[in-house]
Amino acid sequence: MDNYHRGVKTRRKVLGEQHVTRAEVSKTDFDGPFQELITDAAWGQVWSRPNISLRERSMITIALLAALGQDEEVAMHVRSCSNTGASADDIREVLLHVAIYAGVPAANHAIKIVKETFAEMEKEKGAA
């Protein structure tokens, strides 16, 4: 299996069918090459490697995104934890690391995003 197809499989496993289908449906000629790049490189070449688990990759990714202040991506990857096995306790520990190594303001803001995301997920679970 090539990296792109391996990436599609991993991306769907981590982010969920609905998220990936939405991204595919909204893909245009403009962002199509970008979607192909991230599917091949991020999902096919990095996320699909066997050396560490999807849970660990989720934790690393959340830490990096929180440190960089990428709010939407933090929320998306927090949601994906239900597919990768990273728990709320895992995410809390990650954000404690972010506070020490990337700064308290970055962690504080990420904690706000994570709490909002957890609340949305609980609300969605109750509506289902």
> Which part of the chain has CATH 1.20.1290.10?
53-128
Q: Determine the residue type at 94.
A: V
In 10 A of CB 25, how many CB atoms? 7
Question: Is 0.85 topped by the overall pTM?
Answer: yes
Task: Supply the pLDDT for residue 59.
Answer: 98
Task: Supply the pLDDT for residue 128.
Answer: 72
Taking the chain, what is the end-to-end CA distance rounded to the nearest angstrom? 36
The label of the residue with tokens 């933090």 reads 74
Q: Which 8-state DSSP code applies to residue 44?
A: I
User: Which two three-digit tokens encode residue 82?
Assistant: 């239900």
Instruction: Write the CATH number of the domain with boundaries 53-128.
Output: 1.20.1290.10
Pick out the chain residues at pLDDT < 50.
none
DSSP output for 4-71:
HHHHHHHHHHHH-HHHHHHHHHT--TTTHHHHHHHIIIIIIIITT-SSS-HHHHHHHHHHHHHHHT-H
